[in-house]
């Protein structure tokens, strides 16, 4: 099993080159029968994450933006695993808080536990746009939609022994965010004043990290046997995150020093782009491996030691983000 960074929690080393399949081969026996939701399961690392977990007997709800996309994902998952795979559709459009509420209600109506929630869906470096609720799209989809979905499922997660919530963040939380959460210009009422697509992406990805931190603090305050973590999946060139026109234009130039620095410090280097099977490995690892450190930010199947935003452990910022997020969803 190829690795350039090691995990000290067990005797198996995983790293830059590890795949989701290798992770489930090591730990898949613990997943059989577990209930899993994967958002953004229809493409890229979300599909590979759902496939890997379904292949070892998890009951997977393949959340996607429309019922048709979700049903098609279920069909493809069965083709890639087994016709008997325990996979199910779940319509979830994160850019619509009404859809988020509907999806959470649909899942809760099934009266199932929720062992693993993988918040994988996201958009990257889009032109300025807003969600159906008037929220700047990257913050709205990448953070607020997932925030509402998780909080609506919070009690179910809390009731499930050893539940895990895995938030897929990005190295962008470090490379494209030097100011912390942009509280002074979040753009929650169709009113963004200053827009740089990469800064906004970094803002939403830092929100993912801080959300996991505060979620873990709340689990512990409530005595819940649950774990929340965030992660960077790696640089992956073949996902739909690359679909936006003009992503690598002038907007990104102001961040070149940080990008170049990261190329030399990131394990494997930024130029060592992962394929989708490698990109899904840390998500699956955080979802099922033993010894996961509660509240931490992971990279290459280990707690990240480099390229970590200075605000990652800012408890006051994490608490403020939670309160602001609560107010946003309550106002919509």
Domains of the chain: 20-331 (3.40.50.720)
Phi, psi values for residue 274, rounded to 5°: -90, 155
Residue 36 pairs in a beta bridge with 60, 116
pLDDT band, residue 240 (cuts 50/70/90): low
User: How far apart (Å, rounded) are the C-alpha atoms in residues 7 and 20?
Assistant: 15
Q: What mean pLDDT comes out for the span 78-97? A: 98
pTM exceeds 0.95 for this model? no
Pairing relationship of beta strands 163-168 and 59-64 according to DSSP bridges: unpaired
Both tokens assigned to 37: 């939701």
Task: Mean pLDDT check: name the lowest of 51-55, 100-104, 264-268.
Answer: 264-268
Choice among 195, 201, 248, 285 that is catalytic: 195
Residues in the chain, how many?
332
Q: Do residues 311 and 180 touch, judged by C-beta distance below 8 A?
A: yes
Phi, psi values for residue 301, rounded to 5°: 65, 30
Q: Do residues 231 and 166 touch, judged by C-beta distance below 8 A?
A: yes
pLDDT at position 173, please? Answer: 95
Q: Edge to edge, what strands does the sheet with 297-299 contain?
A: 87-91, 59-64, 35-38, 116-119, 163-168, 226-232, 297-299, 302-303
Between CA 127 and CA 124, with CA 282 as vertex, the angle to 5 degrees is: 0
User: How far apart (Å, rounded) are the C-alpha atoms in residues 146 and 265?
Assistant: 30
Q: Do residues 314 and 322 touch, judged by C-beta distance below 8 A?
A: no
Check if 285 is active-site.
no
pLDDT at position 235, please? Answer: 85
Q: Which residue is listed with tokens 């200075």?
A: 310
Q: What mean pLDDT comes out for the span 209-216? A: 98
């Amino acid at each position: 099993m190829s690795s350039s960074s090691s995990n000290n929690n067990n005797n198996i080393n995983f790293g830059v080159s590890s795949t989701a399949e290798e992770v489930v081969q090591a730990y898949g026996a613990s997943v059989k029968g577990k209930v899993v939701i994967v958002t953004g399961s229809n493409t890229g690392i979300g599909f590979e994450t759902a496939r890997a977990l379904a292949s070892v007997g998890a009951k997977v709800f393949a959340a996607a933006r429309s019922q048709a996309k979700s049903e098609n994902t279920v069909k493809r998952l069965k083709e890639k695993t087994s016709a008997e795979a325990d996979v199910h559709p779940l319509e979830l459009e994160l850019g619509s808080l009404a859809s988020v509420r509907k999806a959470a209600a649909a899942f809760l109506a099934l009266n199932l536990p929720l062992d693993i929630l993988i918040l994988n869906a996201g958009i990257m470096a889009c032109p300025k746009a807003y969600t159906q609720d008037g929220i700047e799209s990257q913050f709205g989809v990448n953070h607020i939609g997932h925030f509402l979905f998780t909080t609506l499922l919070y009690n179910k997660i809390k009731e499930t022994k050893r539940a895990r919530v895995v938030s897929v963040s990005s190295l962008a939380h470090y490379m494209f965010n030097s100011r912390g959460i942009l509280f002074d210009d979040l753009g929650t009422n169709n009113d963004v004043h200053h827009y740089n697509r990469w800064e906004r992406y970094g803002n939403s990805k830092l929100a993912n990290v801080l959300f996991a931190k505060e979620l873990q603090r709340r689990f512990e305050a409530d005595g819940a046997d649950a774990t929340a973590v965030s992660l960077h999946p790696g640089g992956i060139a073949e996902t739909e995150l690359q679909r936006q026109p003009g992503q690598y234009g002038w907007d990104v130039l102001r961040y070149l020093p940080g990008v170049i620095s990261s190329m030399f410090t990131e394990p494997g280097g930024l130029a060592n782009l992962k394929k989708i099977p490698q990109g899904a490995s840390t998500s699956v690892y955080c979802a099922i491996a033993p010894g996961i450190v509660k509240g931490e930010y992971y990279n290459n199947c280990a707690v990240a030691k480099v390229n970590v935003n200075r605000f990652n452990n800012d408890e006051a910022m994490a608490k403020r983000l939670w309160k602001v997020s609560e107010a946003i969803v309550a106002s919509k």
